[in-house]
Amino acid sequence: MASDFDFFDPEFQADVHPHFARMREECPMAHAEEPFDWYAVTREKDVRALLHDWKQWTSELGPGLARSGGGVLVSVDPPEHTFDRRLVNRAFTPASLLAMEPQITELIDEIIDGFVAKGEGDFMQLLAVPVPLIVIAWLLGLDPDLVQQMRPRADSVIAPNALEQEEMARQMAAEVESEGRDAARSTASRSMSEVQYFLGTIAERRAMHAAGEEMPQDTLTALVAAELNGRTLTDDEIIGFMGFLFIAGSATTTQLIGNMIYRLLQNPDQMDLVKNNPDLYDTCVEESLRYDAPVNGLFRTAVEDTEFLGVQVPKDTKVLCMFGSANLDPEMWDEPEKFDVTRDYEDLKLHYAFGQGIHYCMGAPLARVEAKVALKLVLERMPNLRLTGEPEEISAPVLHGVETLPVAWDPPLKS
């Protein structure tokens, strides 16, 4: 069986839009054969069908290409998913996330204060990377400085797949060969120390809860205290949610902020519209999510032998629901390849950047707040923002967008 596309080809990743268009037209159930046979659905109606049929297309073998679940919300189906989500919802309510806007505004102002006088730099490292990481640290009651140090290692496990795992194993072997076993052992111990840090923080909260002491008002406290019908979350469940939130919640919001600013810089007319109409901030965020879904897609697995779009799909076969392609389907949106901040807001919110169905992203309200505040303050405090070079595409295949964004702006006049 011939392969219809190569998801890991740098040429594919460099500009996914034309590849998505070809796949929707020529092979809506596209086949890939690296590192084993799997498929991808690219049309909006087909992505919707898979996401809403969890009985046939399970999440229990994980949202990545690797065949491994994790017991976290994205890797379980009902009834376990329903129960867990109700528990976590008590700790992760939209209202509590939206209430963080003043804190986030203060944070972004402080970060901009630290670099605005420079007049140039990599926007991703200056703002798009640190903001979501610090916000996640706040949510989980963790040390923001430590969380930022953990980011590079977190990048290596974003939506893990078989190819990435093999590459990590090769790197570990190379460390053993070139620098001795101590180097490889150090890599493993760093990861273990981070797990121990998470577990230690959870243990502290459990002790405070048992003693009836006043605890910090954050998501970790709510997770520790959450109870439903006599059931509470285990340490493994809490650490799984913390790890998932840390990795997925920070990296995707980083991409959202970076992609949005990049598209505005590419489209000066749209930039001017947003600058002159603050009412368009929310619409601009949604159009960015539609046009550049931060996650190309997530996987489902066939529960049994089945047929989909005329293709025989064996049991346990992985199928990628291409969010990015569904967001560009002309059957869903007029002129989908046009970045347009004047689209209807309610229509835009039907995009797939946060998924759909039972696994719709719980962190969506927070990502939207972070992006909106970042947009507002960047426009206000970094005048004449402009590109100074070509950005680099992010290297993790599951993510979409820029990894670097070289820019300049007019620094404030010295008093």
Note the pLDDT tens digit of each residue in 393-409.
998 888 999 999 999 99
Q: Does residue 79 have a pLDDT over 90?
A: no
- Residue 374's pLDDT is 98
Contact predicate 266/252, CB 8 Å: no
Note the pLDDT tens digit of each residue in 247-280.
777 889 999 999 999 999 999 999 999 999 999 9
Contact predicate 159/66, CB 8 Å: no
Strand pairing of 231-232 and 38-41? unpaired
Task: pLDDT band for 177, please (50, 70, 90 cuts).
Answer: very low
* Domains detected in the chain: 10-408 (1.10.630.10)
- Residue 323's pLDDT is 97
Average pLDDT value for residue range 11-22: 93
Task: pLDDT band for 159, please (50, 70, 90 cuts).
Answer: very low
- Residue 77's pLDDT is 67
DSSP 8-state assignment for residue 292: T
**Percentage of the chain lying above the pLDDT 70 cut:** 82
Contact predicate 382/112, CB 8 Å: yes
Average pLDDT value for residue range 190-199: 67
- Residue 411's pLDDT is 95
- Residue 193's pLDDT is 65
- Residue 72's pLDDT is 61
Nearest to 384 by CA among 257, 259, 279, 268: 268
Q: Does residue 148 have a pLDDT over 80?
A: no
Average pLDDT value for residue range 13-24: 94
**Of 77 and 185, more confident:** 77
Calculate the average pLDDT of the chain. Answer: 84
Task: pLDDT band for 125, please (50, 70, 90 cuts).
Answer: very high
What contacts 381, CB < 8 A, 6 or more positions away?
109, 112, 116
What contacts 318, CB < 8 A, 6 or more positions away?
38, 39, 61, 65, 67, 299, 300, 301
- Residue 287's pLDDT is 98
Residue 400 is which amino acid?
A: H
Ordered alpha helix ranges (H), 267-309: 268-276, 281-291
- Residue 262's pLDDT is 98
Note the pLDDT tens digit of each residue in 23-78.
999 999 999 998 889 999 999 999 999 999 989 998 877 777 876 655 566 666 67
Distance between CA atoms of residues 38 and 3, nearest Å: 10
Q: Does residue 357 have a pLDDT over 50?
A: yes
Task: pLDDT band for 167, please (50, 70, 90 cuts).
Answer: very low
Q: Does residue 142 have a pLDDT over 90?
A: no
**Of 357 and 93, more confident:** 357
Note the pLDDT tens digit of each residue in 316-330.
999 999 999 999 999
Q: Does residue 134 have a pLDDT over 70?
A: yes
- Residue 70's pLDDT is 55
- Residue 172's pLDDT is 31
In angstroms, the Cα distances linking 171 to 162, 184, 343 are: 14, 9, 46
- Residue 68's pLDDT is 61
Residue showing tokens 């595409």: 393
- Residue 324's pLDDT is 97
Note the pLDDT tens digit of each residue in 199-255.
888 999 999 989 999 988 887 888 888 777 788 888 888 887 777 777 777 889 999
